[in-house]
């Protein structure tokens, strides 16, 4: 880690306190002088953290060090002035891309993950739960099947409903994700199970989007005077992955949905409906306003009234071998809508490395207007600015540079969309 010209550490500097490879025999190799790049990944849709480390060995430091998949990587990385160090022990499970780097050296990539994933791949869970909360099922699998250290569990939020489940020889993390997908809270928010810097989490979408923003970050126009090397809250680069896709949103139930639930044993059926107006009214959005207005289709229906745009038939039975009392009406349609809406706006940004930034955080993202009159960069794009949920983080360490590559999603606007004009419908009909 190097000081800048003012004798201070820059926003992308970091310090590796420990980077050691340890084999099952207790042999240790210090990787600080031979690693080229290391990436540590967190993902809202992944049960565990994982990563890669690129190594160039020109002095045969590994000599008699044989890789067999029983190795561990001890990591301790600090960023002065920014929270607690990132300190973890990972399991090395794979080596790849090994080839000569020069006349006497070699380069290769080591792949690592949380040790619990390796354990999970060796275990099958065949277990019955009677009238049990999903939170308690997740806790039971973590503690009794995977023997997870309780200190590695960050939070397991309470869930609504009591369920009967028979887990039919699923791997532990597979079982956890399966039951998590059926979880809901009092406002029908879905749940996520994931690992971040703090540990394992079971969290509802409600609790995630309602938390105060971890920080405010801003993309500053290139013509604005700034020192990006010393601005820890600036965005170096961004990419809009998805902006809007009306067809995809409609057909996947972003705005309205209907479900026919059929019980083949009782020979009964029920119709359930859900729409974005309900979600908005319950405060189920990151920002204040939904990203569409009341424009009507050829049948004089708004997006929220056209329930058949996403129609599901679900066969349920009281004699199900795997689940009873699944309360399908409370989780299937709301989860489908929330999962699609979360990806309505997706942005990837690159910022100076932030060890404390983690999956599940909320960020307030300030995005300037790109126009000639906004040379100072103070006028914000109200459409893209606002609260975003962090769904993926890649902490990337290379040489003396530490960057965080972050995936952000949002389902709503901070500013209301202008209302639809009645005359537009007539205009489109004339043009047919």
CATH code (residue 365): 2.40.30.150
Residues 296, 352, single domain; the answer is: no
User: Is 417 a domain residue?
Assistant: no
CATH of the domain at 135: 3.55.50
Does 105 share its domain with 162? no
Q: Are residues 30 and 91 in the same domain?
A: yes
Phi, psi (degrees; rounded to nearest 5) at 343: -100, 15
Q: List, as one string, the DSSP characters of 213-237.
A: PSEEEEPPPTTS---GGG-TTB-SE
Can you give the pLDDT at residue 295?
A: 82
Q: What is the pLDDT of residue 226?
A: 52
In whole angstroms, give the CA distance from residue 6 to residue 261.
67
335 occurs within a structural domain: no
The reply to whether 426 falls in a domain is no
Do 170 and 97 fall into the same domain?
no
Q: Which residue range forms the structural domain that includes residue 106?
A: 15-118
For the chain, 432 residues long, give each residue's pLDDT as a single digit of tens: 444 444 445 667 888 999 999 988 888 889 998 899 999 999 999 999 999 999 887 666 666 677 778 899 999 998 876 667 889 999 999 988 877 767 667 888 999 999 999 999 999 999 999 999 999 999 999 999 999 999 999 999 999 988 888 998 999 999 999 999 988 888 888 999 999 999 999 999 999 999 999 999 988 765 555 554 455 667 878 898 988 888 888 888 888 888 888 888 778 888 888 888 776 665 678 888 888 887 888 888 888 888 888 888 877 765 455 665 567 777 888 888 888 888 888 999 999 999 999 999 999 998 887 766 655 556 788 888 999 999 999 999 998 899 999 999 998 888 888 776 654 555 555 555
Indicate whether 309 and 352 sit together in one domain. no
Q: Is residue 185 part of a domain?
A: yes
Residue 201 within a domain? yes
* 146 and 266 share one domain: no
Q: Which of 268, 297, 327 is the last residue of a domain?
A: 327
**CB contact set of 187 (below 8 Å; sequence gap of 6+):** 206, 282, 283, 284
Residues 150 and 90 occupy one common structural domain: no
Q: Judge whether 181 and 159 are in contact, CB under 8 Å.
A: no
The CATH number assigned to the domain holding 41 equals 2.40.10.10
Which of 184, 206, 228 marks a domain boundary?
206
Same domain, yes or no, for 36 and 163? no
Whether residue 416 lies inside any domain: the answer is no
- The beta-strand segments (E) located in 117-198 are 125-132, 153-156, 163-170, 191-196
Q: What DSSP letter does each residue of 238-294 carry, written as one string? A: EEEEE---HHHHHHTTSSEEEEEEEETTTTEEEEEEEEHHHHHHTT-SSSSB-S---
Determine the pLDDT at residue 281. 62
pLDDT of residue 107: 85
Cα 289–332–391 angle (5° rounding)?
55
What pLDDT is attached to residue 54? 94
Same domain, 353 and 240: yes
219 plus 290 within the same structural domain: no
**Count of domains for the chain:** 4
For residues 333 and 342, what is the distance between their CA atoms, to the nearest angstrom? 14
Please indicate, yes or no, whether residues 355 and 215 belong to a single structural domain of this protein.
Answer: yes
Tell me how far the alpha carbon of residue 103 is from its chain's centroid.
43
* Tokens of residue 313, six digits: 């038939």
Residue 428 in any domain: the answer is no
| Rounded Cα gap, residues 66 and 63, in angstroms | 8
Q: Residue 53 CB: number of other CB atoms within 10 A? A: 24
Tell whether 176 and 200 lie within a shared domain: yes
**7: in domain:** no
Residue at which a domain ends, from 327, 360, 391? 327
């Amino acid at each position: 880690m190097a000081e800048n010209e003012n004798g201070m550490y820059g926003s992308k500097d970091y310090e590796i306190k420990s980077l050691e490879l340890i084999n099952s025999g207790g042999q240790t190799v210090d990787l600080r002088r031979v690693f080229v790049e290391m990436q540590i990944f967190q993902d809202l849709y992944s049960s565990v953290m994982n990563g890669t480390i690129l190594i160039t060995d020109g002095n045969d430091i590994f000599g008699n060090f044989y890789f067999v998949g029983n190795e561990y990587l001890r990591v301790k990385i600090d960023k002065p002035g920014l929270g607690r160090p990132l300190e973890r022990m990972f399991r090395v499970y794979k080596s790849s891309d090994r080839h000569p780097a020069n006349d006497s050296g070699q380069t290769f990539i080591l792949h690592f993950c949380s040790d619990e994933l390796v354990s999970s791949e060796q275990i099958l869970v065949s277990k019955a739960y009677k009238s049990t909360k999903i939170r308690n099922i997740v806790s039971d699998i973590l503690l009794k099947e995977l023997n997870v250290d309780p200190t590695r569990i960050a939070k397991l939020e309470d869930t609504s409903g009591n369920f009967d489940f028979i887990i039919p020889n699923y791997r532990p993390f597979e079982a956890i994700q399966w039951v998590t997908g059926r979880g809901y809270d009092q406002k029908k928010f879905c749940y996520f199970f994931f690992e971040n810097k703090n540990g394992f989490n079971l969290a509802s979408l409600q609790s995630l989007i309602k938390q105060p923003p971890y920080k405010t970050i801003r993309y500053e126009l290139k013509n604005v005077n700034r020192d990006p090397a010393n601005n820890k809250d600036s965005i170096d680069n961004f990419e809009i992955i998805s902006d809007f896709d009306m067809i995809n949103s409609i057909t996947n139930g972003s705005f309205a949905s209907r479900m026919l639930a059929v019980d083949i044993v009782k020979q009964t059926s029920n119709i359930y409906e859900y729409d974005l107006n309900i979600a908005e009214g319950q405060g189920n959005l990151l920002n204040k306003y939904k990203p569409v207005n009341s424009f009507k289709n050829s049948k004089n229906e708004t997006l929220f009234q056209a329930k058949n745009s996403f129609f599901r038939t679900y066969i349920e039975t009281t004699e199900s071998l795997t689940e009873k009392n699944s309360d399908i009406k409370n989780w299937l349609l709301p989860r489908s809508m929330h999962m699609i809406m979360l990806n309505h706006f997706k942005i990837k940004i690159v910022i100076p490395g932030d060890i404390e930034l983690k999956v599940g955080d909320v960020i307030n993202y300030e995005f300037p207007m790109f126009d000639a009159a906004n040379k100072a960069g103070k006028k914000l794009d109200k459409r893209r600015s606002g609260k975003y949920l962090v769904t993926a983080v890649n902490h990337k360490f290379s040489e003396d540079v530490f960057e965080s590559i972050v995936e952000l999603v949002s389902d709503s606007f901070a500013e209301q969309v202008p209302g639809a004009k009645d005359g537009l419908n007539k205009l489109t009909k004339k043009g047919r």
